[in-house]
Amino acid sequence: MAMAVVVTASNYLVQFPVEGQVGALDLAEILTWGAFTYPVAFLVNDLTNRRFGPMAARKVVLVGFAIAVGMSVILATPRIAMASGAAFLFAQLLDTAIFSRLRAQRWWKAPLFASMAGSVIDTLLFFGIAFSARFAFIDAALGLPDSSLAFPVPLLSLFPLEVPLWVSLALGDFTVKLLMAFVLLAPYRALLNRIPDRFAGATA
- φ, ψ of residue 154 to 5 degrees: the values are -60, 140
Q: In the chain, where do the E strands start and end?
A: 21-22, 25-26, 152-154, 162-164
Work out the pLDDT band at 204, boundaries 50, 70, 90.
very low
Which residues 6+ apart lie within 8 Å of 87 measured at CB?
A: 121, 122, 123, 124, 125, 126, 129
d(CA 160, CA 155): 7
Work out the average pLDDT over 114-140. Answer: 95
Q: Let me know: does 184 contact 35? Beta carbons within 8 Å.
A: no
Rg (CA), the chain: 17
Q: Which amino acid is at 187?
A: P
pLDDT digits (tens, 9 = 90+) for 84-107: 889 999 999 999 999 999 999 999
| Whether this model's pTM surpasses 0.85 | yes
Residues of the chain with pLDDT > 70, as a percent, come to: 94
pLDDT digits (tens, 9 = 90+) for 18-77: 888 776 667 776 778 888 898 999 999 999 999 999 999 999 999 888 877 787 778 778
